[in-house]
Copies of this chain bind each other. A is one copy, B any other.
């Protein structure tokens, strides 16, 4: 897609260029992005907690740098490829939040840890801990590890405080590993829409982390880091005094899913929509609807359709019209849209939509001001 990127690059800095971006394009409102970065950091600072923003949402080194510059204690990566990208981009304080198991991947992880000693990863299995230690030992690298604790989501994690403590002991005893603490993530809690229901459920889950921490400390082992949570519970979890940092991710862009969540007890929607798909009308042969150039290869579409925020009459509805194309249904069944009309949509779910694109087109005011590569994308990592 080099030619699309090159074409759009020629628009940078030109007055009115925000409206001229070739589509489909993933567009970031720079002012909204920075407002979200600064707003979350200010909330954390005021609340006396740290944030360790999750980079799986943006996969972009420039955004990781901005999160660190604002005061984050580190960033998270879901996949090794994201961690490599952030470290190469100058952010070595990366927590890789899923276990590294395959031999080839362990080898890449050790390359990374050798160059960036602050890299931390997680484990939930004695066999994996033994493999990590053996590999790190043979490379002469010390690897920072957290014990992953199952906080009720059952995707990863030791299943009890005793199991967490046993794994912590194995890590502490391993000459090439350094025990740093525990992690637990309850992804199923983040999107409970009602604040009070989410609070009750999240507190149960965070207390599981607390119990694991207490068992580890009771064994005389280090547990300096207790990390978990996310955007959906950032205003809930810190009050328990268990987490040392919160893994906020989606706040950076917000999306239609989070627009349906009451994020705080008051000031329910503190973050601005900062990420948009721009799409254009490519056919308008019928009254009442038009065909656009972004379909299921341009939007992730679980749960909600894309939400149109500009470019068409209020009340217009977006739907998917195949892999490459979308459909805009107009409120007036006799109306037609002009060809090439620019339509701006908030995306249903930021993480998997961003994963579809190679580039972020950065806009401010009426201008395209920059293009940032989504270096960490690729379905793999």
Chain A residues packing against B (C-beta within 8 Å): 1, 3-4, 7, 20, 22-26, 56, 78-79, 81, 84, 98-99, 101-105, 107-108, 124-125, 127-128, 150, 154-159, 187, 280-286, 291, 293-294, 296-298, 300, 302, 321-325, 327, 339-340, 351-352, 355-358, 376-381
Contact = CB atoms under 8 A, between A and B. Distances in A.
B283 A324 contact: no
B84 A3 contact: yes
Given A3-B108, A7-B108, 14 more contacts: A4-B378, A4-B380, A7-B107, A22-B104, A24-B380, A98-B293, A99-B282, A101-B281, A101-B340, A127-B339, A158-B285, A296-B300, A357-B378, A358-B380
* Chain copies in the assembled complex: 2
Nearest to A185: B322
A298 B128 contact: no
23 contacts: A1-B81, A1-B378, A4-B81, A7-B104, A22-B102, A22-B105, A22-B380, A23-B380, A24-B379, A26-B379, A98-B325, A101-B340, A124-B283, A125-B339, A154-B286, A155-B327, A156-B282, A156-B291, A157-B283, A296-B300, A296-B302, A298-B380, A358-B380
B379 A356 contact: yes
A321 B155 contact: yes
A98 B159 CA distance: 53
A1 B322 contact: no
Given A355-B297, A357-B378, A280 B158 contact: no
A323 B351 contact: yes
Given A351-B323, A380-B24, A280 B150 contact: no
Given A101-B280, A125-B283, A155-B322, A379 B352 contact: no
Residue in A284, A297, A339, A358 whose Cβ sees the most chain B Cβ within 10 Å: A297
A354 to B, nearest CB: 10
Contacts of A4: 81, 378, 380-381
B24 A325 contact: no
A212 to B, nearest CB: 13
Given A291-B156, A380-B25, A324 B125 contact: no
Contacts of A327: 155
A98 B282 contact: yes
A357 B339 contact: no
Nearest to A158: B285
Contacts of A24: 379-380
Residue in A20, A125, A356 whose Cβ sees the most chain B Cβ within 10 Å: A356
Contact of A339 (B1, B128, B187, B380): B128
